[in-house]
Protein backbone atom coordinates (compact mmCIF):
# COMPACT_ATOMS: atom_id res chain seq x y z
CA UNK A 1 0.00 0.00 0.00
CA UNK A 2 1.48 3.35 -1.07
CA UNK A 3 1.20 6.18 1.42
CA UNK A 4 1.77 9.76 0.29
CA UNK A 5 2.05 12.32 3.10
CA UNK A 6 1.63 15.99 2.18
CA UNK A 7 3.25 18.31 4.70
CA UNK A 8 4.66 21.82 5.02
CA UNK A 9 7.32 23.46 7.11
CA UNK A 10 4.82 26.09 8.26
CA UNK A 11 1.08 26.60 8.26
CA UNK A 12 -0.85 28.29 5.46
CA UNK A 13 1.20 27.10 2.48
CA UNK A 14 -1.74 25.35 0.79
CA UNK A 15 -1.10 21.70 1.61
CA UNK A 16 -4.76 20.99 2.45
CA UNK A 17 -5.88 22.40 -0.91
CA UNK A 18 -3.34 20.17 -2.65
CA UNK A 19 -4.44 17.16 -0.59
CA UNK A 20 -8.11 17.70 -1.48
CA UNK A 21 -7.21 18.01 -5.16
CA UNK A 22 -5.14 14.80 -5.02
CA UNK A 23 -8.04 13.02 -3.33
CA UNK A 24 -10.32 14.04 -6.20
CA UNK A 25 -7.76 12.94 -8.82
CA UNK A 26 -6.97 9.61 -7.18
CA UNK A 27 -10.31 8.09 -8.08
CA UNK A 28 -10.44 5.79 -5.05
CA UNK A 29 -8.02 6.07 -2.13
CA UNK A 30 -8.13 6.26 1.64
CA UNK A 31 -7.95 9.92 2.66
CA UNK A 32 -6.50 10.86 6.03
CA UNK A 33 -6.41 14.19 7.85
CA UNK A 34 -3.56 13.99 10.34
CA UNK A 35 -3.62 17.70 11.17
CA UNK A 36 -5.64 16.84 14.27
CA UNK A 37 -4.84 20.09 16.11
CA UNK A 38 -6.48 22.18 13.36
CA UNK A 39 -8.28 19.80 11.00
CA UNK A 40 -9.91 21.43 7.97
CA UNK A 41 -9.80 18.90 5.11
CA UNK A 42 -13.42 18.04 5.91
CA UNK A 43 -14.44 21.53 4.76
CA UNK A 44 -13.46 20.63 1.18
CA UNK A 45 -14.46 16.96 1.09
CA UNK A 46 -17.68 17.23 3.14
CA UNK A 47 -17.51 13.77 4.73
CA UNK A 48 -20.51 11.83 5.99
CA UNK A 49 -19.58 10.36 9.36
CA UNK A 50 -20.09 6.61 9.66
CA UNK A 51 -18.35 5.97 12.97
CA UNK A 52 -17.23 8.14 15.87
CA UNK A 53 -14.78 7.04 18.58
CA UNK A 54 -13.46 8.74 21.70
CA UNK A 55 -9.73 9.33 21.96
CA UNK A 56 -8.33 8.97 25.46
CA UNK A 57 -4.86 10.08 26.42
CA UNK A 58 -3.31 10.99 29.74
CA UNK A 59 -5.14 11.29 33.05
CA UNK A 60 -6.90 13.94 35.09
CA UNK A 61 -7.57 14.21 38.81
CA UNK A 62 -11.19 14.18 40.00
CA UNK A 63 -12.01 14.82 43.67
CA UNK A 64 -14.98 12.90 45.08
CA UNK A 65 -16.92 15.52 47.04
CA UNK A 66 -18.52 12.98 49.36
CA UNK A 67 -15.11 11.68 50.48
CA UNK A 68 -13.17 14.96 50.59
CA UNK A 69 -12.36 16.03 54.18
CA UNK A 70 -11.32 19.56 53.17
CA UNK A 71 -7.83 19.18 54.61
CA UNK A 72 -6.28 21.21 51.77
CA UNK A 73 -3.22 19.03 51.19
CA UNK A 74 -3.96 18.76 47.47
CA UNK A 75 -4.43 22.52 47.21
CA UNK A 76 -1.07 23.18 48.87
CA UNK A 77 1.00 20.80 46.74
CA UNK A 78 -0.51 21.42 43.28
CA UNK A 79 2.13 23.31 41.28
CA UNK A 80 -0.31 24.10 38.47
CA UNK A 81 -2.95 25.83 40.63
CA UNK A 82 -5.54 23.42 39.25
CA UNK A 83 -7.31 22.90 42.59
CA UNK A 84 -9.70 25.38 44.18
CA UNK A 85 -11.87 25.44 47.24
CA UNK A 86 -15.59 24.82 46.69
CA UNK A 87 -17.41 25.38 49.95
CA UNK A 88 -16.13 22.97 52.58
CA UNK A 89 -14.33 20.75 50.05
CA UNK A 90 -11.99 21.07 47.07
CA UNK A 91 -12.43 20.45 43.34
CA UNK A 92 -10.16 20.24 40.28
CA UNK A 93 -10.28 22.57 37.26
CA UNK A 94 -9.98 20.07 34.35
CA UNK A 95 -8.45 22.60 31.94
CA UNK A 96 -5.66 23.42 34.40
CA UNK A 97 -4.89 19.85 35.54
CA UNK A 98 -1.67 18.50 34.00
CA UNK A 99 -2.37 14.91 35.05
CA UNK A 100 0.80 14.56 37.14
CA UNK A 101 -0.97 12.53 39.84
CA UNK A 102 0.81 14.10 42.82
CA UNK A 103 -2.46 15.03 44.54
CA UNK A 104 -3.76 11.48 44.05
CA UNK A 105 -0.79 10.03 45.93
CA UNK A 106 -0.76 12.72 48.63
CA UNK A 107 -4.47 12.76 49.55
CA UNK A 108 -4.73 11.31 53.12
CA UNK A 109 -8.40 10.40 52.57
CA UNK A 110 -7.74 8.77 49.17
CA UNK A 111 -10.61 10.87 47.83
CA UNK A 112 -9.13 11.63 44.39
CA UNK A 113 -9.77 9.46 41.34
CA UNK A 114 -7.37 9.47 38.37
CA UNK A 115 -9.32 8.40 35.25
CA UNK A 116 -8.11 8.57 31.65
CA UNK A 117 -8.78 11.91 30.03
CA UNK A 118 -10.99 12.20 26.94
CA UNK A 119 -8.76 14.30 24.68
CA UNK A 120 -10.71 14.25 21.43
CA UNK A 121 -12.53 12.13 18.87
CA UNK A 122 -11.68 10.34 15.65
CA UNK A 123 -14.03 9.52 12.80
CA UNK A 124 -14.45 7.13 9.92
CA UNK A 125 -16.38 8.84 7.14
CA UNK A 126 -17.32 8.52 3.49
CA UNK A 127 -16.67 11.23 0.90
CA UNK A 128 -17.25 11.62 -2.81
CA UNK A 129 -13.56 10.74 -3.23
CA UNK A 130 -13.54 7.60 -1.07
CA UNK A 131 -13.26 6.69 2.62
CA UNK A 132 -11.80 9.25 5.00
CA UNK A 133 -10.34 8.95 8.49
CA UNK A 134 -10.00 12.18 10.45
CA UNK A 135 -9.95 13.45 14.02
CA UNK A 136 -10.42 16.40 16.31
CA UNK A 137 -8.22 17.06 19.33
CA UNK A 138 -9.95 18.92 22.16
CA UNK A 139 -8.60 22.38 23.04
CA UNK A 140 -5.61 21.77 25.28
CA UNK A 141 -5.74 18.04 24.54
CA UNK A 142 -2.44 16.23 24.75
CA UNK A 143 -0.69 13.51 22.77
CA UNK A 144 -1.70 14.56 19.28
CA UNK A 145 1.06 12.26 17.98
CA UNK A 146 -0.72 9.29 19.52
CA UNK A 147 -4.00 10.37 17.89
CA UNK A 148 -2.25 10.74 14.52
CA UNK A 149 -0.87 7.21 14.84
CA UNK A 150 -4.35 5.90 15.65
CA UNK A 151 -5.87 7.62 12.62
CA UNK A 152 -3.20 6.25 10.27
CA UNK A 153 -3.59 2.76 11.68
CA UNK A 154 -7.34 2.84 10.98
CA UNK A 155 -6.74 4.17 7.46
CA UNK A 156 -4.44 1.25 6.66
CA UNK A 157 -7.01 -1.18 8.04
CA UNK A 158 -9.75 0.30 5.85
CA UNK A 159 -7.46 0.27 2.81
CA UNK A 160 -6.70 -3.41 3.28
CA UNK A 161 -10.36 -4.24 3.91
CA UNK A 162 -11.52 -2.48 0.74
CA UNK A 163 -8.60 -3.55 -1.42
CA UNK A 164 -7.33 0.01 -1.94
CA UNK A 165 -3.63 0.43 -2.66
CA UNK A 166 -3.21 4.15 -1.93
CA UNK A 167 -3.41 6.36 1.17
CA UNK A 168 -3.28 10.15 0.83
CA UNK A 169 -2.45 11.97 4.05
CA UNK A 170 -2.89 15.64 4.88
CA UNK A 171 -0.14 16.06 7.46
CA UNK A 172 0.34 18.78 10.08
CA UNK A 173 2.77 21.67 9.58
CA UNK A 174 6.17 21.95 11.23
CA UNK A 175 8.52 19.25 12.53
CA UNK A 176 7.00 18.33 15.90
CA UNK A 177 5.55 15.13 17.32
CA UNK A 178 2.39 15.09 15.11
CA UNK A 179 4.54 15.45 11.97
CA UNK A 180 6.85 12.63 13.04
CA UNK A 181 3.82 10.43 13.72
CA UNK A 182 2.49 11.30 10.24
CA UNK A 183 5.76 10.53 8.44
CA UNK A 184 7.05 7.30 9.93
CA UNK A 185 6.48 4.39 7.60
CA UNK A 186 5.25 6.54 4.69
CA UNK A 187 6.21 5.73 1.11
CA UNK A 188 6.71 9.30 -0.07
CA UNK A 189 6.55 12.88 1.18
CA UNK A 190 5.40 15.94 -0.74
CA UNK A 191 6.39 19.24 0.88
CA UNK A 192 4.29 22.25 -0.12
CA UNK A 193 6.13 25.50 0.44
CA UNK A 194 5.82 29.15 -0.55
CA UNK A 195 8.32 31.66 -1.98
CA UNK A 196 9.27 33.48 1.23
CA UNK A 197 12.32 33.49 3.49
CA UNK A 198 10.38 31.73 6.24
CA UNK A 199 9.18 29.22 3.65
CA UNK A 200 12.81 28.44 2.73
CA UNK A 201 13.90 28.15 6.35
CA UNK A 202 11.05 25.84 7.33
CA UNK A 203 11.46 23.78 4.16
CA UNK A 204 15.06 23.02 5.14
CA UNK A 205 13.90 21.78 8.55
CA UNK A 206 11.14 19.53 7.23
CA UNK A 207 13.37 18.07 4.51
CA UNK A 208 15.89 17.27 7.23
CA UNK A 209 13.15 15.37 9.05
CA UNK A 210 12.24 13.39 5.93
CA UNK A 211 15.91 12.64 5.32
CA UNK A 212 16.26 11.39 8.89
CA UNK A 213 13.50 8.83 8.31
CA UNK A 214 14.87 8.03 4.84
CA UNK A 215 11.62 8.86 3.07
CA UNK A 216 11.86 10.12 -0.54
CA UNK A 217 10.79 13.76 -0.65
CA UNK A 218 9.47 15.98 -3.42
CA UNK A 219 8.66 19.68 -3.19
CA UNK A 220 6.09 21.98 -4.74
CA UNK A 221 6.26 25.78 -4.60
CA UNK A 222 2.78 27.20 -4.20
CA UNK A 223 2.05 30.80 -5.30
CA UNK A 224 5.46 30.82 -6.96
CA UNK A 225 4.62 33.83 -9.15
CA UNK A 226 4.35 36.26 -6.24
CA UNK A 227 8.16 36.04 -5.87
CA UNK A 228 9.77 34.14 -8.78
CA UNK A 229 13.33 34.79 -7.61
CA UNK A 230 12.66 33.34 -4.18
CA UNK A 231 10.81 30.39 -5.74
CA UNK A 232 13.91 29.60 -7.80
CA UNK A 233 16.16 29.93 -4.73
CA UNK A 234 13.94 27.49 -2.84
CA UNK A 235 14.03 24.98 -5.69
CA UNK A 236 17.82 25.19 -5.92
CA UNK A 237 18.21 24.69 -2.19
CA UNK A 238 15.76 21.77 -2.18
CA UNK A 239 17.73 20.10 -4.98
CA UNK A 240 20.94 20.52 -2.95
CA UNK A 241 19.20 18.76 -0.07
CA UNK A 242 18.25 15.82 -2.30
CA UNK A 243 14.56 16.59 -2.82
CA UNK A 244 12.85 16.10 -6.17
CA UNK A 245 11.30 19.16 -7.81
CA UNK A 246 7.70 18.13 -8.50
CA UNK A 247 6.13 21.33 -9.77
CA UNK A 248 4.82 24.81 -9.21
CA UNK A 249 1.36 26.25 -8.57
CA UNK A 250 0.57 29.84 -9.42
CA UNK A 251 -1.41 32.24 -7.26
CA UNK A 252 -4.98 31.70 -8.39
CA UNK A 253 -8.19 33.04 -6.86
CA UNK A 254 -9.91 29.89 -8.07
CA UNK A 255 -8.46 28.10 -5.03
CA UNK A 256 -10.37 30.49 -2.78
CA UNK A 257 -13.48 30.04 -4.94
CA UNK A 258 -13.16 26.27 -4.48
CA UNK A 259 -12.86 26.68 -0.71
CA UNK A 260 -16.00 28.80 -0.62
CA UNK A 261 -17.79 26.19 -2.75
CA UNK A 262 -16.62 23.38 -0.47
CA UNK A 263 -14.71 21.47 -3.14
CA UNK A 264 -11.19 21.05 -4.52
CA UNK A 265 -9.81 23.36 -7.19
CA UNK A 266 -9.51 20.53 -9.74
CA UNK A 267 -13.29 20.22 -9.58
CA UNK A 268 -13.72 23.80 -10.82
CA UNK A 269 -13.71 24.00 -14.65
CA UNK A 270 -11.02 26.19 -16.17
CA UNK A 271 -8.99 26.85 -13.03
CA UNK A 272 -5.32 27.38 -13.94
CA UNK A 273 -4.13 26.20 -10.54
CA UNK A 274 -6.25 23.08 -11.03
CA UNK A 275 -4.39 22.22 -14.23
CA UNK A 276 -1.03 22.72 -12.55
CA UNK A 277 -2.07 20.45 -9.68
CA UNK A 278 -3.06 17.80 -12.25
CA UNK A 279 0.48 17.97 -13.64
CA UNK A 280 1.84 17.79 -10.10
CA UNK A 281 -0.24 14.67 -9.46
CA UNK A 282 1.14 12.98 -12.58
CA UNK A 283 4.71 13.69 -11.46
CA UNK A 284 4.27 12.64 -7.84
CA UNK A 285 2.00 9.65 -8.36
Residue 221 has pLDDT above 80, yes or no: yes
d(CA 260, CA 258): 5
Across residues 180-209, what is the average pLDDT? Answer: 95
254: nearest Cα among 238, 243, 265 = 265
Burial class (CB in 10 A: 0-12, 13-18, 19+), 285: middle
CATH 3.30.70.20 intervals, the chain: 61-114
Model confidence, pTM: 0.89
Question: In 10 A of CB 240, how many CB atoms?
Answer: 10
Name the CATH superfamily, with its identifier, for domain 2-57+119-284.
Answer: P-loop containing nucleotide triphosphate hydrolases (3.40.50.300)
Which residues does 223 contact at the CB level (< 8 Å), separation at least 6?
Answer: 14, 194, 195, 249, 250, 251
Instruction: Evaluate whether 30 touches 155 at the Cβ level (below 8 Å).
Output: yes
**Confidence band of 27 (pLDDT split at 50, 70, 90):** confident
**Confidence band of 139 (pLDDT split at 50, 70, 90):** confident
* Model pLDDT for residues 32-88, shown as the tens digit of each residue: 999 999 899 999 999 999 999 999 998 999 999 999 999 999 999 999 999 999 999
pLDDT of residue 143: 73
Across residues 102-124, what is the average pLDDT? Answer: 96
CA distances from 134 to 16, 41, 46, 151, 180 (A): 13, 9, 12, 7, 17
Q: Mean pLDDT score of the chain, rounded to an integer?
A: 95
241: nearest Cα among 272, 276, 217 = 217
Sequence-ordered strand ranges (E) for 60-151 = 62-63, 83-86, 89-92, 112-113, 116-127, 130-137
Instruction: Evaluate whether 149 touches 157 at the Cβ level (below 8 Å).
Output: no
Q: What angle do CA 151, 26, 148 make, to 5 degrees?
A: 15
pLDDT of residue 21: 97
pLDDT of residue 78: 97
Residue 97 has pLDDT above 80, yes or no: yes
CATH 3.40.50.300 intervals, the chain: 2-57+119-284
| CATH class for the domain made up of 61-114 | alpha beta
Residue 140 has pLDDT above 80, yes or no: no
Amino acid sequence: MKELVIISGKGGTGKTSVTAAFAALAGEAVIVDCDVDAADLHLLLQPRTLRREEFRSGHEAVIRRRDCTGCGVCFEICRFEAIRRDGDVYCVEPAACEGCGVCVRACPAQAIDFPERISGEWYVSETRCGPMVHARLNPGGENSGKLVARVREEARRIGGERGLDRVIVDGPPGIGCPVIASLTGATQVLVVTEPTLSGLHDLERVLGLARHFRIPAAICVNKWDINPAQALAIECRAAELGARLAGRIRYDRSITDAQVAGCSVVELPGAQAGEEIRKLWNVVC
